[in-house]
């Protein structure tokens, strides 16, 4: 596996109020393979920002090391940072008084890109991101979604193989968010670039990330493939809406582990979380004893937001 980013035992402490030392990161270690969308997640204050800024060379860690495509961020700073580009605060990496075309030309130039190739590449980027008709308008007059797309286009025009994006869909409507996700998938699949994103939107994580690291209170609490985490926390969950129950049936159902019984309309809702499939048959046997009508049965699907909260809850326990 080709690793493009290695973070090894990263530690950082800040001086807080009244001289108290606050440990922002404690021996954080992870690796990012080439050609994937990688999620760096955690609640506010968990240490994500410190990790990101350390990767970008903006924060000097107390201990540990970071290498980008084999270049050490501290010892070989220029070569390491040439391998990545970042959008750290939404769309603030673009100049609002310039046009989209001028922004792309400017950021390509400071990365030393050759003008001859850009004559073809910039129009292509404007087309891909749906900015051709707005190419010569000042950025400040564009919608939030278009500004966000331009910020992403700017990361691409630099030619850097690693993109680090902080909340790339923040503040966007549903349509624009889906478009950004689609573009990120396309970048990875067609150009084999690596995308590292931070986000609080777990729908985005589940939709596009292949691997995640979750940080909480300065420590890594999960470092795994998305699907494996979903499988790990998967519990079969069923909701049944049934007719009236006898007192004996209610007593029998309440004795089944992980079953919740609530009155609903003219009947009852049975919610059952289970790892053992026989629990569902026990509930059905109780219902069948009086031939209680079952109006509906539905199975709950686990989403990554629930996994995320389970992991954070386990870390605090």
Cα–Cα distance, 239 to 107 (Å, whole number) = 54
Q: What angle do CA 52, 150, 179 make, to 5 degrees?
A: 90
Given this model, what pLDDT does residue 316 score?
Answer: 59
- From first to last of its 317 residues, the chain has per-residue pLDDT tens of 799 999 999 999 988 777 788 889 999 999 999 999 999 999 988 999 899 999 999 999 999 999 999 999 999 999 999 999 998 765 567 999 999 999 999 999 999 888 888 988 999 899 988 899 999 999 999 998 889 889 989 988 998 999 999 888 877 778 878 888 998 898 899 989 999 999 888 989 999 999 999 999 999 999 999 988 888 776 678 889 999 999 999 999 999 988 999 999 889 999 987 767 788 899 999 999 999 999 999 887 778 888 888 888 766 54
Q: 73-90 burial by CB neighbour count: b if 16+ within 10 A, else e?
A: beeeeeebbbbbbbbbeb
Count CA atoms closer than 13 A to 55's CA, side-chain side: 31
Place of tokens 């996994």: 307
Question: Which contacts (CB < 8 Å, 24+ apart) does range 140-147 have?
Answer: 140/96, 140/97, 142/100, 144/91, 144/171, 144/172, 144/176, 145/172, 145/173, 145/175, 145/176, 145/179, 146/100, 147/91, 147/94
Given this model, what pLDDT does residue 90 score?
Answer: 56
Place of tokens 């609530």: 262
Given this model, what pLDDT does residue 174 score?
Answer: 85
CA–centroid distance for 151 within its chain: 18
Cα–Cα distance, 73 to 86 (Å, whole number) = 15
The token duo for 196 is: 């590292």
Given this model, what pLDDT does residue 70 score?
Answer: 94
CA–centroid distance for 301 within its chain: 19
Beta partners for 224?
212
Beta partners for 70?
none
Domains parsed from the chain with CATH numbers: 1-83+161-231+302-317 (3.40.50.300), 95-159 (no CATH), 235-301 (3.30.70.250)
């Amino acid at each position: 596996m080709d690793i493009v980013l290695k973070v090894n035992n990263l530690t950082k402490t800040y001086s807080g109020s009244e001289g108290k030392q606050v440990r922002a990161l404690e021996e954080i270690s992870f690796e990012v393979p080439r050609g994937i969308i990688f999620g760096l997640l955690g609640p506010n204050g968990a240490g994500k920002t410190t990790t990101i800024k350390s990767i970008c060379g903006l924060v000097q860690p107390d201990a540990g090391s970071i290498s980008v495509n084999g270049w050490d961020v501290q010892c070989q700073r220029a070569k390491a940072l040439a391998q990545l580009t970042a959008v750290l605060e939404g769309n603030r990496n673009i100049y609002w008084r310039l046009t989209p075309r001028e922004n792309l030309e400017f950021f390509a130039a400071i990365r030393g890109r050759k003008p001859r190739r850009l004559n073809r590449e910039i129009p292509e980027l404007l087309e891909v991101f749906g900015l051709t008709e707005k190419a010569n308008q000042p950025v400040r007059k564009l919608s939030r979604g278009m500004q966000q797309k331009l910020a992403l286009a700017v990361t691409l025009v630099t030619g850097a193989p690693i993109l680090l994006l902080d909340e790339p869909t923040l503040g966007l409507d549903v349509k624009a968010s889906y478009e950004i996700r689609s573009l990120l998938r396309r970048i990875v699949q067609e150009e084999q670039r690596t995308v590292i994103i931070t986000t609080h939107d777990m729908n985005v994580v589940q939709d596009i990330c292949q691997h995640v690291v979750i940080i909480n209170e300065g420590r890594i609490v999960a470092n795994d493939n998305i699907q494996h985490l979903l499988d790990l926390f998967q519990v079969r969950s069923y909701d049944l809406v049934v007719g009236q129950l006898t007192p004996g049936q209610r007593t029998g159902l309440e004795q089944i582990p992980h079953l919740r019984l609530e009155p609903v309309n003219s009947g009852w809702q049975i919610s059952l979380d289970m790892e053992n499939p026989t629990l569902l048959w026990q509930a059905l046997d109780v219902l069948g004893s009086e031939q209680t009508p079952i109006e509906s049965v539905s199975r709950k699907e686990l989403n990554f937001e629930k996994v995320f909260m389970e992991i954070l809850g386990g870390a605090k326990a």
